């Protein structure tokens, strides 16, 4: 089996930001270093200064990564806010359309009711006129008939 270990503090020569991994094979005595990030060499007069400088550099990178995450979160929040505003506008438009359609439906129903009432009135007035004329005609016939009998 292979073993992995982080080698930034034990080998000052390779103490750069991003760290280096060493892999040692069980059968061979070879070691391979793989850099995980860009190589930044820190000039230091002692192992302690190198560790402090590496820690400061790591803190800077962590701060930059945190800022990047914060910016991404703010951007995502802005996108959500924008989408929410757009959806609210669409809901408002839809509600307005529904209200307009309901108003139109009520107006159409009122117009139909008025037309129906007018037709009923015209029909009743027409029937009353016919009845009146019929009664007049019958009254005249009765009058003539009575005049003929008296004469």
Residues 62-112: pLDDT tens digits? 999 999 999 999 999 999 999 999 999 999 999 999 999 999 999 999 999
50 & 70 share domain: yes
**Distance in angstroms (rounded) separating the CA atoms of residues 127 and 146:** 28
How would residue 146 be classed by pLDDT, with cut points 50, 70 and 90? confident
- Say yes or no to pLDDT of 9 above 60: no
Q: Report, as an integer, the average pLDDT of 8-13.
A: 45
Task: Assess whether 37 and 50 both reside in one domain.
Answer: no
Within this chain, do residues 33 and 96 fall inside the same structural domain, yes or no? Answer: no
Domain-embedded: residue 15: yes
Same structural domain, 49 and 81: yes
Residues 148, 17: Cα–Cα separation, whole Å: 136
């Amino acid at each position: 089996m292979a073993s992995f270990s982080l080698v930034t503090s034990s080998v000052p020569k390779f103490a750069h930001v991003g760290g280096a991994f060493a892999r040692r094979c069980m059968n061979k005595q070879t070691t391979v270093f793989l850099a995980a990030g860009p190589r930044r060499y820190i000039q230091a007069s002692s192992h302690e200064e190198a560790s402090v400088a590496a820690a400061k550099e790591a803190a800077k990178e962590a701060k930059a990564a945190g800022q990047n995450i914060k910016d991404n979160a703010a951007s995502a929040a802005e996108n959500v806010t924008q989408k929410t505003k757009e959806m609210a506008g669409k809901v408002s438009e839809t509600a307005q359309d529904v209200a307009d359609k309901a108003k139109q439906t009520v107006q159409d129903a009122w117009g139909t009711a008025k037309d129906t009432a007018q037709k009923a009135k015209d029909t009743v007035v027409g029937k009353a006129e016919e009845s009146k004329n019929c009664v007049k005609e019958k009254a005249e016939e009765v009058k003539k008939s009575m005049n003929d009998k008296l004469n």
